[in-house]
Structure 1
């Protein structure tokens, strides 16, 4: 049972760690956001991460949309970039781990991907599911957001270790049965330049080798465009996690604005229109009880539909985790209502994911 520090409301749909209700975040941001800022600072301090996106001088990093201004002796928001004596410190190698995920995978975009058989023979090995083949799943350490409900929060511990994968090791990891490589995390955005470099080296290694991203979308627009070009021609896709529609809500729960995310999503329209039959662009939203409501889904769905009504959209059931682990599972009735709302806004390809978690 959480309690809002502003209005005093108590509810199981209020995160006790955040201590803010949806209404106060939306309607009283001048009071809510400073309190949310403190919650994020507390959460990040456990992992030695800077409390907020650094601004106000220092080395400027442009590898993601945060554009941190890193002070001497400190690090950027992602934890991967530092400032030592006025010089930027950043590893050349990709900071990541990887494993083989047999098809069909649990990828959010799986239902609209050549791994399910669409795009044969150019982008797929067979007319149906690519049984016997695998996805090289690359878990990128670091993130440009700080979601309090993070499902993969353990990457924060790995930042201190910084597992490095040099280009040759990565290329050697691509087996003859690998048909796609998906970069997720954490989030790929702070390392998109490295990812694109590696993908260019890997092009043509197998007859079918798709390159995909699962991302919060808070990328450097130019770097995202560079990846989009290689992802498009490989048969891959970019899945945007559109967490919230309201900017105050996004800041309160992820620590960062969502303006750059939505601008980048719209920028991807030109790539999407080049290959609509095998969707290059997909979106998803985690249905967080107490914070994802009808207004949020309506706003997100309307935005997606304004670009193209055929863009696949997944509504994902929530599992209590990390600092918001006291929230309940998503209710089935809410998920079905959100799906109906998304369709009413014009979207034609809407599905509910993680259905086994619905209460």
Structure 2
């Protein structure tokens, strides 16, 4: 196994991990909350380094990222484990899998980059499960990817320490973060974590110059009130700015949360319209096929700038980041420097 980064050796063979806000103290033979960072003989190992459970070439919009290389392909990798244990996880079969289940296969960082280039992908994303706990592997692969002109993406729950985020920021372009609710009670009960570290990491990602888009899965009766969404939207406006894309996605029953029905489209539309009324330039709905609120509109004149049907994307009203109807600015990442 590959030795982990960001940990401290303590007395008696115990180690202290500082990669995520759980900051686990791990005894000999044990593993952290994530299930994949393991203490062997007083050394912390990243047990999933170079090990993948899922590999695909996806439209970048599937992440979802709407303002990062729109219309391009993204080479996407996942492994197992997570530092959350969300009751509604849609990828629970890998996020909650254990090393003993033997569902992993090898992929060296160099080979991953080669495959990304070979498939015509414009970027690599670490996704499907939480990339934070895979830290050493994305760090190695991402550095190679940037040398090849590829973009790099974390599809993350945002539960990462300042130390961890600063270490990957040099190779990372985009931080697509779930803000699962705007309630610490929700995070503790549903996810097994806390809200504040997610907000802190998201602010830091923005300050470090990463492209940030937020996603909130709107769950009936748990986080779908206009009051809670109002607080979240105002927080994004204050700390990230009005050009930050915000995705409000429709919930479907899954994993341990089968007792909730799908989110009503009408409620999602209310949240979208409220975000617009508060001054957000780029709110979106997700998991609602063929809806006009999937499109990007010019913040100044309202003309369609980027049209989307599912994961199919057409840039119809933008040239050089300017609206072709009024000349207004349309903010998105069109190339990797």
TM-score interval w.r.t. the shorter chain? 0.7 to 0.9
Q: Secondary structure at the match of 2:75?
A: strand
Once residues 73 and 198 of structure 1 are traced to their aligned partners in structure 2, the CA distance between those partners, rounded to angstroms, is: 28
Distance 1:148 1:247, change over 3 A: same
Gapped regions of structure 1 (runs ≥ 5): 1-56, 117-128
Q: Once the two structures are superposed, what CA deviation does each residue of 1:262-281 show, in whole Å capped at 9, x if it has no partner?
A: 00111122234xx8xxxx11
Structure 2 residue aligned with 1:229: 170
Report the Cα offset of residue 94 of structure 1. 3.3
Given the alignment, which residue of 167, 173, 177 partners 2:109? Answer: 167
Report the Cα offset of residue 80 of structure 1. 0.3
Report the Cα offset of residue 216 of structure 1. 0.5
Once residues 248 and 345 of structure 1 are traced to their aligned partners in structure 2, the CA distance between those partners, rounded to angstroms, is: 25
Once residues 108 and 62 of structure 1 are traced to their aligned partners in structure 2, the CA distance between those partners, rounded to angstroms, is: 28
Once residues 198 and 21 of structure 2 are traced to their aligned partners in structure 1, the CA distance between those partners, rounded to angstroms, is: 8
Distance 1:261 1:324, change over 3 A: same
Q: Secondary structure at the match of 2:170?
A: helix
Looking at both structures, which has the greater relative contact order when contacts are Cα pairs under 8 Å and sequence separation is at least 6? 1
Partners of 2:248 and 2:284 within 8 A in 1: yes
Structure 2 residue aligned with 1:146: 85
Answer yes or no: is 1:63 the counterpart of 2:19: yes
Once residues 91 and 264 of structure 2 are traced to their aligned partners in structure 1, the CA distance between those partners, rounded to angstroms, is: 22
Report the Cα offset of residue 305 of structure 1. 0.4
Report the Cα offset of residue 291 of structure 1. 0.3
Once residues 261 and 302 of structure 1 are traced to their aligned partners in structure 2, the CA distance between those partners, rounded to angstroms, is: 16
Considering fraction of residues, name the structure with more strand: 2
Structure 2 residue aligned with 1:83: 39
Q: Once the two structures are superposed, what CA deviation does each residue of 1:166-191 show, in whole Å capped at 9, x if it has no partner?
A: 22332332233121111112200112
Given the alignment, which residue of 288, 303, 322 partners 2:235? Answer: 303
Answer yes or no: is 1:95 the counterpart of 2:51: yes
Distance 1:149 1:102, change over 3 A: closer
CA-based RMSD of the aligned residues comes to: 2.3
Gapped regions of structure 2 (runs ≥ 5): 1-11, 292-337
Q: Secondary structure at the match of 2:203?
A: helix
Once residues 179 and 231 of structure 1 are traced to their aligned partners in structure 2, the CA distance between those partners, rounded to angstroms, is: 14
Once residues 95 and 65 of structure 1 are traced to their aligned partners in structure 2, the CA distance between those partners, rounded to angstroms, is: 24
Report the Cα offset of residue 75 of structure 1. 1.4
Q: Secondary structure at the match of 1:99?
A: strand
Structure 1 residue aligned with 2:64: 108
Q: Secondary structure at the match of 1:323?
A: coil
Which shows bigger deviation, 337-346 or 187-196?
337-346
Answer yes or no: is 1:242 the counterpart of 2:179: yes
Report the Cα offset of residue 158 of structure 1. 5.2
Answer yes or no: is 1:219 the counterpart of 2:219: no
Q: Secondary structure at the match of 2:83?
A: coil
Once residues 212 and 290 of structure 1 are traced to their aligned partners in structure 2, the CA distance between those partners, rounded to angstroms, is: 31
Q: Secondary structure at the match of 1:217?
A: coil
Distance 1:328 1:65, change over 3 A: same
Question: What is the TM-score with the length of structure 1 in the denominator?
Answer: 0.70
Question: What is the TM-score with the length of structure 2 in the denominator?
Answer: 0.74
Q: Once the two structures are superposed, what CA deviation does each residue of 1:243-292 show, in whole Å capped at 9, x if it has no partner?
A: 011111111100111211100111122234xx8xxxx1110100011101
Once residues 135 and 353 of structure 1 are traced to their aligned partners in structure 2, the CA distance between those partners, rounded to angstroms, is: 19
Partners of 1:245 and 1:299 within 8 A in 2: yes
Given the alignment, which residue of 282, 286, 292 partners 1:353? Answer: 286
Considering fraction of residues, name the structure with more helix: 1
Which shows bigger deviation, 318-327 or 219-228?
219-228
Distance 1:341 1:166, change over 3 A: same
Once residues 170 and 45 of structure 2 are traced to their aligned partners in structure 1, the CA distance between those partners, rounded to angstroms, is: 28
Distance 1:353 1:302, change over 3 A: same
